[in-house]
Structure 1
Amino acid sequence: MPSPLPPGLPPPAETLVRDPDPFPGLVGFTAALRAAGVPMTTDRVAAFTEALDALDVTDRMQTYWAGRLTLCSDPDDISRYDAAFAAWFDPRQGPSPPRPDAPAAPPPTLTSLLPTRDSREGDDEEEREQEILKATATGSEVLRTRDLGELSPLEREHLRRLLQLLRPDPPTRPSRRLASARHGRPDPGRTLRAALRNHGELGELRRRAPTRRPRKVVLLLDVSGSMEPYADALLRFAHVVVRRSPSSTEAFTLGTRLTRVTRELRQRDPERALQAAAEAIPDWSGGTRLGEVIGAFVDRWGRRGAARRAIVVIFSDGWERGETDLLGTQVGRLARLAHRVVWVNPHVGKEGYAPVQGGIVAVLPYLDELLAGHSLETLERLLDVVRAS
Structure 2
Amino acid sequence: MIPPKEAVHAAARRGTGSPLAPRDRPSAEAFAPNLLAFIRLLRRVGLQVGPGDALAATEALTLTGIETRATVRAALSATLLRKHEQAELFDAAFALFWRDPEKGATEAAFAMLEEQKAPQKPKAGDRRMAEAMAADRPLPPPPKQEEQPPQLDAAMTVSERERLQQMDFEAMSAAEIALAKQEIRRLVLPLDARPTRRFRTDPLGPRVDLKATLRAGSRSGGELVTILRKRRVVRPPPLVAICDISGSMARYAQVLLHFLHAVTNDRERVHSFLFGTRLSNITRQLKHRDPEIAFEMVAHMVPDWSGGTRIGEALERFNQDWGRRVLGQGAVVLLITDGLDREGGRGLAEATDRLKRSCRRLIWLNPLLRYAGFQPKSQGIRAMLPHVHEFRPVHNLASLRQLIEALGKGTRR
Which TM bucket (shorter chain)?
0.5 to 0.7
Percent identical residues? 32
Task: Kindly provide the CA deviation profile for residues 87-123 of structure 1, in whole angstroms up to 9, marking residues without a partner as x.
Answer: xxxxxxx97479xxxxx9354xxxxxxxx449x7xx9
Normalising by structure 2, we get a TM-score of 0.56
Query: Is residue 221 of structure 1 aligned with residue 255 of structure 2?
Result: no
Q: Look up the match of 1:241.
A: 263
1:335 and 1:264 mapped to 2: Cα distance?
Answer: 26
Q: Look up the match of 2:71.
A: none
**C-alpha contact 2:203 2:229 (8 A) present in aligned 1:** yes
1:187: how far off? 6.6
2:161 and 2:136 mapped to 1: Cα distance?
Answer: 42
**C-alpha contact 1:307 1:334 (8 A) present in aligned 2:** no
Normalising by structure 1, we get a TM-score of 0.59
- Picking from 265, 279, 286, the partner of 2:307 is 286
Task: Kindly provide the CA deviation profile for residues 171-216 of structure 1, in whole angstroms up to 9, marking residues without a partner as x.
Answer: 32202224649784467889xx9xxxxxxxxxxx997542311210
1:296 and 1:154 mapped to 2: Cα distance?
Answer: 37
Q: Look up the match of 1:199.
A: none
Say if 1:178 and 1:97 are closer, same or farther in 2 by CA, change over 3 A.
farther
**C-alpha contact 1:179 1:211 (8 A) present in aligned 2:** no
2:334 and 2:247 mapped to 1: Cα distance?
Answer: 20
Query: Is residue 340 of structure 1 aligned with residue 361 of structure 2?
Result: yes
- Picking from 327, 350, 353, the partner of 1:307 is 327
Q: Look up the match of 1:164.
A: 185
**C-alpha contact 1:97 1:105 (8 A) present in aligned 2:** no
2:302 and 2:136 mapped to 1: Cα distance?
Answer: 60
1:268: how far off? 0.8
Structure 1 or 2, whichever has the larger Rg, is 2
1:185 and 1:315 mapped to 2: Cα distance?
Answer: 41
Paired residue type of 1:307: L
CA-based RMSD? 3.3
1:258 and 1:213 mapped to 2: Cα distance?
Answer: 28
Say if 1:279 and 1:106 are closer, same or farther in 2 by CA, change over 3 A.
farther
1:261 and 1:367 mapped to 2: Cα distance?
Answer: 24
- Picking from 133, 139, 159, the partner of 1:105 is 139
**C-alpha contact 2:243 2:275 (8 A) present in aligned 1:** yes
1:364: how far off? 1.6
1:368: how far off? 0.8
Paired residue type of 1:229: R
Query: Is residue 275 of structure 1 aligned with residue 296 of structure 2?
Result: yes
Structure 2: state its 5+ residue gaps.
1-132, 148-156, 217-226
What is the number of equivalent residue pairs in this alignment? 257
Q: Secondary structure at the match of 1:324?
A: coil
1:167 and 1:181 mapped to 2: Cα distance?
Answer: 33
Say if 1:160 and 1:117 are closer, same or farther in 2 by CA, change over 3 A.
farther
Structure 1: state its 5+ residue gaps.
1-93, 99-103, 108-115, 124-134, 194-204
Equivalent residues in 2 for 1:1-389, closer than 5 Å: 96=135, 105-107=139-141, 116-117=142-143, 138-175=159-196, 176-178=198-200, 180=202, 184-185=206-207, 209-245=231-267, 247-303=268-324, 305-308=325-328, 309-389=330-410
1:139 and 1:228 mapped to 2: Cα distance?
Answer: 25
